[in-house]
Structure 1
Amino acid sequence: MDTGRRNIDLHLSHEEITEDHPDPLVSCLQIVASHFNRPTSLTVLTAGLPHETDQFTPELVVRAATRINLEATPRRTALSKHPAFTLPVIVALKKRGPVVILEKAGKGAFSVALPGRSEPHTLTDLEIMEDYAGWTISFKEAAAAPSGLHGPVTKKGAENWFWGPLRTYWKSMVQVMMAASVINLLALASPLFVMNVYDRVLPNKALSSLWVLALGLSIAFVFDLLLKVSRATLIDYVGRKLDIHVSSALFEKVMNIRLQERPESTGVFANHISQYEYVREFFTASTLSLLVDVCFLFLFLFVIYLLGGWMVIVPAIAVVLVIVSALVLQAFVSRYLARAQSDAAQRHGLLVESLTAMETLKSLRAEGYFLAKWERFIQEGSRTQSQIKAYSSLAVNIAQFLQQMTTVWVVVAGVYRFAENEITMGVIIAIVMLSGRTVAPLAQMTTILTRARYAFAALKTLDDVMGQPDERVGMKDYVNRVVLDGELEFRNVSFQYPAVDRTILSEVSFHISPGEKVGILGAIGSGKTTLARLASGLYTPTSGEVLVDGVDVRQYHPYEVRKAVGLVVQETDLFRGSLKENVLVAKPGASDDEILFACRMAGVDAFAARHPMGYDMPVGERGSFLSSGQIQSIALARVFLISPPILFLDEPSSALDLAAEKVLIRHLKEAIWPDQTLILATHRQAMLALVNRLIVLDNGKVVADGPKDRVLAALAERAAARAVQDLSDTSNDFGEDDDQEEPPRQSGQA
C-alpha cells in the first residue's frame, strides 16, 4: 500500500462542498483529489454530470475522477474479500456514511477523513469491518493525462472517444473470437459424421458404431448451441456497454460545443449524431463472427484437400471469384455512399425543421411547399438507395450462384474420382458439405463490406463532431475562480456571428460596478441580446475582453460564469414535463420553499394556483400549452431560484400586458437585493423604474452612457431635434417641387 502522507486540505474541501453540494460522497472525492494534488473545485468535478438530483453515486464518482486524470474503481464485495488497494480509498460505512481511508496509523488502525471534519480520525480494523456498508472506491493516477480538462479531440480523436472504450472490452472480444473459432471447428463434425456413416456404418451395418457417432455428434451440437448463445450474450454485453459509454460521450460533447461552432441545421447535425448506430452495429453485431468464419475458410479448404486432393481447386476458385466480385461491386457502391448519407441528413433536417415550426407552417399554408421539398429529397434518396441495393443484391446473388455451381462441379469431379476408386461416396458428400460451408460466409461479404463503409464513413463524421471546439477545454490545471461581487466590464468588445458578414458589436466599452442597476436601450438589432450572450459566456468576443469581477470570463469555468450571470432571454425554451420540473432545471436540489418563493416573485404562482394540477401541470413541448407571458414568467423563476450576483434581463416584460408588467416590477423590486447587479435590456418605459443608469446602443456601438435622467433628457432633445430636422427636410422637399414646376406661358407663345 502507498501510505506516504501528502498535504491534504480537509477543511477547505468540506467548506466548499457544504456550501453548494451537501453530498458527502462528493466531499470524499475532493479529499482524494487533494491527496493527488488535483483540482478540488466542485465545478470541475461535478458540472454537467448526469444526475437529476443532488444525490451522488459511485458511478458518478468514476466519471468525475476522469476529469482530474484519476482512475476510480468501485467494488461491491465483502471487505475481507477485497483485494489489496492503494490508499486513499473511499469506504462506505453504515453509520458514518462514506469516508476516506488516508493511511495506516499504526498496527490495526487507519487514519480516516470524515466529510465535515477538519481533522482526520483514527479507526481500527474492527470498527471499519463492523460498520462496512458493502462498497469501496479505490483510486490511482491515470497513465497519461489528456491535454485539456476533457481532452480535446483532434484528427486522432476517435482514439479517445471510440477505440479507447472499445479496447476496454478486448477480453470479451477475444472470448467472442474463441467461441466463433470453436463453432467453426465443430462445423467439421457433421461432414465427417456423414462420411463415416456412408463409408463404414452402411457397408458393414455397424449399428453400434452408428449410435456412438450419433451420440458424439449430438454432444458436439449441444456445445455448438451453448457457444452460440454465449457468443450472442457477449456481443450483446459489449454492444450495450459500449453504447452507454460512447453515446453518453457524444451527447456530452454536443452539450458542450461552443455555440459559435454550432452547425446551421439542427436536423442535419442530429442526423450526424444518429449515425453512431452504424458504427455500433458494425463493431458489436455479428460482424466479428463473420470475419472469423471467413478466416476459417482456409481450414475448410485444407480439410477438403486432405479428403479429395486436387478437388479443392473447385471451392478455391469459387472463393476467389466471390471475393473479386464483391470487391468490384463495392467500388460502385462507394460512389453512392456519400450521396446517400447526405440525402438522409437533408431529409432529417427538413423533418426536424418542419416539426419544430409546425404552427408557423400551418398558419402560412405552407404544407404543400414543404411536402414538395420532402418528396424531392425522398426521390433523390430513393434513387441512390436503389443503386446501392442493386449492387449489393447482385454481389449476394453472384455468391449464391457460385455456391450452387461449386456443389455441381464438386459432385462432377467426385464422380470421376469415384469411378477410378480414388475416393468413396462418403468423401464426396463430405466435400460437398465442406464446400458449401466454405463459400457460405463469403455470400455475406458484400453485406459486411457495405456495412463497413457505412460504419467508417459515420466514424469520420462523428470524429468531426467530437473534434468541434469544446468550451471546457484547457481548464484541467486552472486556478478555480468564483464570482462573488458581480462586477461586469466590456473592454473594446467587437463581435460577429459565424457565417454573418455584419459586425454586431463594434468596440463596445463600459463598466458596471457591483450592485449597480443599469438599463440597456437601443433599437431592434442594435446588439442588446448579444451583450447578454457575451456577458453569460455563451459566446466569446471576436476581439476585446469581457471581465467579471475584473477577470476575463475565459479564465472561469463556463458553469461558474453562468452561475454568476443569471440570464433571461426573450425566447425561452421549456422542456416537455411538468411546471415544477421546468423550474427545477436551474437548480435540481432546490427545496419547495425556494421554488415557491422564486415562482411568487416571477408571477408563476398566480397561474399555477388556478390550475387543478398546480405545479404538476404539463407545459407541453417547448411550452406549447402556455402563453408567451407564462413562459417568460417561468424563465424569471429559474433565475430567481439560483439568485446570481449579476441579473441580466433581456426584455423580461415583452410578452406581458400592462397589469402583469406592474406586478412584475413590484416583485422585481422585492426580489432584487441591494448588492445584486441588475442589467435590464428593454423597450418598455415602465421597466426603467428599476434602474438608475442607462447605456444606449446604436448599430452595435455605445452612443450614450450615464445617469438615467440625464440620458433620457438627452434622448428627448435628440428626438426633438430629429423631428425638427425631418419637418425641415419635408418643407425643403415641397419647395424643390415648386421650383421644378413649368413656368406659365407668355402671351403669344405657341
Structure 2
Amino acid sequence: MNLSPLRAFLRVFLSYYRPYRRTLTLDLLCAFVVAGVTLIYPLFAGYVTRTVLHTPGPQALPELLRVGAFMLALLAVQIAANTYVDYQGHMMGTYIERDMRRDLFAHLQRLPFSFYDSHRTGQLMSRVTNDLYDIGELAHHGPEDLSTALLLFVGVFAVLLHLNPALTLLLFAFLPFMAAYAVFFNVRLNRALLQSRERIGDVNAQVEDTLAGIRVVQSFTGEGTEQRRFDAENARFVDSRRAGYHAEAHFYQGMLAFSQLMTIAVLVFGGLTILRGGLRVDELLTYLLCVGILLEPIRRFVNLARLLQEGVTGFQRFQELMAVQPDIVDAPGALELKAVRGEVTFERVSFRYPSSSTLVLRDIDLTVRPGEFVALVGASGVGKSTLCALLPRFYEVTAGQIRIDGIPVEAVTLASLRRSIGAVQQDVYLFSGTVLDNIRYGRPWASTDEVIEAARQAGAHEFIAALPQGYHTDIGQRGVKLSGGQKQRLSIARVFLKDPPILIFDEATSALDSVSERLVQESLERLAQRRTTLVIAHRLSTVRNAGRIVVLTESGVAEQGSHEELLRRGGVYARLQAAAPLRPAER
C-alpha cells in the first residue's frame, strides 16, 4: 500500500495547526477530561447499587450525599471542559479555515492568465468558500473526536473485560463486521461527495456566468435559455446528492443497527448469565451503562468518518489548486526595475497559447524608443493584444526575448515590471466601491489631493464632483452606475495616479459615442506625454497621428512608418485603410 499520498496529506494539513498548538493542546486535554469523567459515572452507579444501598440506614444517607456531591463536582468540571472544547475548538477550526482560504486566495492571484483561460470563476469560488468550510469542521472535530473516542473505547473495554470477559468478547465480535461495513459505504460516500462538490461548482459557475451577463440575457430575452441551463446543472447536482444521501443513509442506519444489536446481545446473554449465577444484577447495571458509553466512541468514530469524507474531499480539491504552480515567477536574483527610460525591444518574439499548437506571433522584431508613440494595427487575430500582454509577462514568450532599457523582462521582478507599465483597455474593469477607491487602486497610499489631481488630468473631476457623494459615491459592481465614457476616464485617472513610464492603450475609445470619445482621447493624449506608448488600434482612424504605425500580419511585422508613408507605399496598411468603414464624424 502506497502511504506517500497519506503522509503528504497529513504533513500539509497538520502544518496549519502550528500557530494554534496551545489551543489544540488544551482542547485535547479538555477532551480527555470529558472522556475520563464519562467513564467514571457507571463506576459510581455500580458503587451506589452494590455498596451504598446495602449500607445500614444511618450511614447510607451521608455516603450517598458524598457520592452525589462528588458527581456534581465532576459534572461541573465536565461542563467547563466541554465549553472550552465547543467554543475554542470551533474557533481554532475557523482560524485554520481562514488561513487556508487566505493562502488559496493569495495563490490564485499568482496564477497566470493562461490558468484563468481554462477555469471557470464559479468553480474556483466554490473551492474558496464551500470546500474550506468542511475543512474547518474537520480541523476542529477531527483530533477531538479521535482522541476522545480512543480513550473511551480503551477505557470501556478495560472495564467491561474486568466485569465479564466472556460477555465482552461476544460484544467485540461485532466490531470487525462494523468496520467492514463502514469502510464499504465510506468509499461510496467519498465518491459521491467528490462528485457533489464538482456539481455545485458547476451550479456556481452557471449562476456567475448568467448574472455577470444579465444585461445581455435580458436584452436578448435569453431568460428561458439561461433557466434551462441552470435547471440542467441543478438536476446534475441533485443526482450527485441523491447518490451521497443513499450511501449516507445505509452507512448511518447500518451503524445504528449494529449498536442496537450490541445492546440486545448484552441484555439477553447478560440475563442468561445472571440466571446461571455468573453475574450480579448490579454488575449487569454497570455493564449496561458501560455499553451505553461504548456507543459514544462508536458514534464519534462514525462522525469522524463523515468529517473525514467531507473534509478530505474538500482538502483534496484545495491541494489540487495549491499544486498548480505559477509558470511565470521571479527568476533567482531578479532585479528591481528602476529609473525606467522606456525603451522597449522585441527580439524575434514568437508565441503560442499553451492549449494551442499554432503560433499567434511569429518572429516579431520591433524597437520602441523612449517616449515614442507607436500604434499596432492589423487584421483581427494577428496578435496585437497578445504582443502587448507579453510585455508585462501576463504570458511567457514561446521564443525570443523582450527587453526594457536593454534588460530582459525575465531578469527583473514581476512587481517592478508591472509597476512600470500602465494599461488602459477597451473593456474597463472597475471594482465595487467608491470612485476614490477605484482611482486609488493605481497607488493605494496616495492622498485624496493626489487622487483629485489625477482625476483632473483625466478630465474626470467635473463629472465626479456632480455625483451624489462626489468621490465617495458608490459606483456599483463593475461601475454599473456610470456611463461608458465616465468609466473610461476613471480608468485613465487610475493610470495617471500610477504614473508609469510605459503605457498600453487597447483601443480605449472604440465603444464610445463621439462626445465621450473626444473627451477620453484628450485625456489619453495628456497621459501619453513623455511616456513610451503602445496603442492597439482596431479602428485605423484613431492612429493617423501616431509617430509610427507598425502593421502586423500572421507572418510578423509587415511594414512600419507614418500614416502618410504607409499610404504612399500602397501595401498592407493602405489596403486595410481602403477597406475600413468610416464613422459619420470622420467622413
Q: Structure 1 length normalisation: TM-score?
A: 0.71
- Which secondary structure does the structure 1 equivalent of 2:400 belong to? strand
Are the aligned partners of 2:89 and 2:140 in contact in 1 as well (CA < 8 Å)? yes
Shift of 1:642: 1.2
Q: Distance in 1 between matches of 2:83 and 2:156?
A: 24
1:230 alignment partner, one of 84, 95, 98 = 84
1:713 aligns with 2:568: yes
2:323 alignment partner, one of 431, 446, 467 = 467
- Which secondary structure does the structure 2 equivalent of 1:333 belong to? helix
Q: Distance in 2 between matches of 1:445 and 1:165?
A: 23
Cα shift readout 1:632-671 (whole Å, capped 9, x = no counterpart): 1111111111111111111122233333333344444444
Q: Distance in 2 between matches of 1:258 and 1:722?
A: 36
Which residue is 1:37 aligned to?
Answer: none
- Which secondary structure does the structure 1 equivalent of 2:549 belong to? strand
Which residue is 2:508 aligned to?
Answer: 652
Are the aligned partners of 2:132 and 2:315 in contact in 1 as well (CA < 8 Å)? no
Shift of 1:255: 0.7
Are the aligned partners of 1:177 and 1:288 in contact in 2 as well (CA < 8 Å)? yes
Q: How many residues align?
A: 570
1:352 alignment partner, one of 208, 216, 223 = 208
Q: Distance in 1 between matches of 2:114 and 2:446?
A: 32
- Which secondary structure does the structure 2 equivalent of 1:540 belong to? coil
Q: Distance in 2 between matches of 1:536 and 1:256?
A: 14
Which protein, 1 or 2, shows the higher relative CO under an 8 Å CA cutoff with sep ≥ 6? 2
Which residue is 2:23 aligned to?
Answer: 172
Are the aligned partners of 1:602 and 1:634 in contact in 2 as well (CA < 8 Å)? yes
Cα shift readout 1:286-311 (whole Å, capped 9, x = no counterpart): 22222123312122011011123322
Which residue is 1:220 aligned to?
Answer: 74
2:533 alignment partner, one of 667, 671, 678 = 678
Over the aligned positions, Cα root-mean-square deviation in angstroms equals 2.7
2:145 alignment partner, one of 284, 287, 290 = 290
Q: Distance in 1 between matches of 2:42 and 2:302?
A: 27
Cα shift readout 1:164-195 (whole Å, capped 9, x = no counterpart): 23234344333322222221111122211211
Which residue is 1:239 aligned to?
Answer: 93
Which residue is 2:348 aligned to?
Answer: 492
2:182 alignment partner, one of 326, 331, 342 = 326
Q: Distance in 2 between matches of 1:392 and 1:373?
A: 29
Q: Distance in 1 between matches of 2:424 and 2:573?
A: 31
Q: Distance in 2 between matches of 1:687 and 1:356?
A: 30
Q: Distance in 1 between matches of 2:84 and 2:259?
A: 29
Are the aligned partners of 2:503 and 2:533 in contact in 1 as well (CA < 8 Å)? yes
Which residue is 1:696 aligned to?
Answer: 551
Q: Distance in 1 between matches of 2:576 and 2:231?
A: 57
1:398 aligns with 2:249: no
Shift of 1:483: 5.1
Relative distance call for 1:223 and 1:417 in structure 2 (3 A) is same
Relative distance call for 1:647 and 1:156 in structure 2 (3 A) is farther
Are the aligned partners of 2:23 and 2:92 in contact in 1 as well (CA < 8 Å)? yes
Shift of 1:573: 1.0
- Which secondary structure does the structure 2 equivalent of 1:490 belong to? strand
Shift of 1:631: 1.5
1:264 alignment partner, one of 119, 127, 132 = 119
Between 1:315-324 and 1:581-590, the stretch displaced more is: 315-324
1:530 aligns with 2:381: no
Q: Distance in 1 between matches of 2:391 and 2:46?
A: 82
Residue identity opposite 1:573 in structure 2: Y
Counting only pairs closer than 5 Å after superposition, residues 591-630 of structure 1 correspond to structure 2 as 591-630=447-486
1:384 aligns with 2:235: no
Between 1:692-701 and 1:645-654, the stretch displaced more is: 692-701
Relative distance call for 1:164 and 1:717 in structure 2 (3 A) is closer
Residue identity opposite 1:199 in structure 2: R
Between 1:580-589 and 1:597-606, the stretch displaced more is: 597-606
Which residue is 1:70 aligned to?
Answer: none
Shift of 1:433: 1.0
- Which secondary structure does the structure 2 equivalent of 1:285 belong to? helix
1:511 alignment partner, one of 354, 361, 367 = 367
Q: Distance in 1 between matches of 2:96 and 2:495?
A: 37
- Which secondary structure does the structure 2 equivalent of 1:514 belong to? coil
| Higher fraction of helix | 2
Relative distance call for 1:233 and 1:513 in structure 2 (3 A) is same
1:248 aligns with 2:99: no
Counting only pairs closer than 5 Å after superposition, residues 716-727 of structure 1 correspond to structure 2 as 719=574
Percent identical pairs in the alignment equals 22
Are the aligned partners of 2:428 and 2:491 in contact in 1 as well (CA < 8 Å)? yes
Residue identity opposite 2:37 in structure 1: L
- Which secondary structure does the structure 2 equivalent of 1:526 belong to? coil
Q: Structure 2 length normalisation: TM-score?
A: 0.90
Residue identity opposite 2:92 in structure 1: V
Between 1:661-670 and 1:569-578, the stretch displaced more is: 661-670
1:196 aligns with 2:50: no
- Which secondary structure does the structure 2 equivalent of 1:503 belong to? coil
Cα shift readout 1:670-712 (whole Å, capped 9, x = no counterpart): 44443x2122222455643653111112336211112343124
Residue identity opposite 1:192 in structure 2: L
Relative distance call for 1:158 and 1:563 in structure 2 (3 A) is farther
Q: Distance in 2 between matches of 1:486 and 1:365?
A: 48
Residue identity opposite 1:514 in structure 2: P
Which residue is 1:410 aligned to?
Answer: 266
